[in-house]
Amino acid sequence: MTYDIKDKVVLITGATGGIGAACAREFYRHGAKLVLTDISQSSVDKLASEFSKERVLAKAMDVTDWNSIKKVIKQTVVTFGRLDITLANAGISWKKSAYTVFNCDETEFEKIIDVDLLGVWRTIKTSLPEVIKNKGQIVVTSSIYAFTNGMCNAPYATSKAGIEMLSRSLRAELAAKGASSTVLYPGWITTPLTEGVFGGDNLTTKMREIGFPLFLRRAITPEKVATALNKGLSKRKPRIIVPARWIPIQILRGIVGIFSDWFLANNTRIQSMLLELEDRTKK
């Protein structure tokens, strides 16, 4: 049976980012009511101004704060009477350059985990009673980093792999309740966060060029992700991988992972660049 998003209430965390904003516009276009959340009230207010006031609730929310999340969920139910879909999309990465585990700042590493992994957990846990009651859906924005090597982006990749398993576990647990959970795996996207995730400099760009073929490195727009997600939700798909060229890599992740790990550890050019990166980013 097709799941119709029209008149459904959708909560989006990280709503003002590239994927979050694109999904908000796509869902709204298909008749959904929106709960837009992000760390800044002014940013969600700006996005909300694009939509009819009757179909949008814009609230600042901190996914590292249980009380902040609970307050927004309560306001959602008061405003719209229900919550059907939660898109746990909020995420951060390195603030400036890419780092290795050896030379990164401990506080920044743990902050990324707190937002990207535990923030998703808090959002899901708080949303579940309403989502289950309405036989709705939970969606987590994971990444191709859930099944590719996280070199130079370890906290981000660790989080994306972690929320993938969280969503997979949740899907099995929700089946008898009529609700579902979906993992969204975007590839490289043309958003500001992408530059942070991949370092945004010549060294990490060269590493990508050595480690990935050109067809996998081509970035797509957030709008393509939003379109794919909307279609996937209509069928309650367990996983949505976009662009589709990453699907074979995901299917063969065990084999590809073994080769990839070996290649990265043994390629002299990449190892030399890693040492250069560490030297450049010494504390």
Reading the chain (283 residues) residue by residue, the pLDDT tens digits are 799 999 999 999 999 999 999 999 999 999 999 999 999 999 999 999 999 999 999 999 999 999 999 999 999 999 999 999 999 999 999 988 889 999 999 999 999 999 999 999 999 999 999 999 999 999 999 999 999 999 999 999 999 999 999 999 999 999 999 999 999 999 988 866 555 444 456 788 888 889 888 888 888 999 999 999 999 999 999 999 999 999 999 999 999 999 999 999 999 999 999 999 999 877 6
Q: Are 222 and 190 in contact (CB under 8 A)?
A: yes
28 is a catalytic site residue: no
What is the rounded CA–CA span in Å between residue 130 and residue 238?
20
- Measuring CA to CA, which residue among 248, 243, 238, 213 is closest to residue 227? 243
Q: Which of 28, 99, 145, 156 is catalytic?
A: 156
CA distance readout (Å), 171 to 38, 127, 236: 25, 14, 10
Q: Give the pLDDT of residue 199.
A: 46
Size of the chain, expressed as the number of residues it contains: 283
**What is the pLDDT, as a whole number, of residue 149?**
94
In angstroms, rounded to a whole number, what is the distance separating the alpha carbons of residues 262 and 200? 25
Residue 138: strand, helix, or coil: strand
Residue 94 phi/psi, 5-degree rounding, is -55, 140
240 three-state secondary structure: strand
Q: Would you state the pLDDT for residue 190?
A: 81
Report yes or no: 163 and 116 within 8 Å, Cβ to Cβ. Answer: yes
CATH 3.40.50.720 holds for 9-282: yes
pLDDT at 263: 96
What are the residues whose beta carbons fall under 8 Å from the beta carbon of 147, sequence distance 6 or more?
A: 161, 185, 249, 250, 253, 256, 257
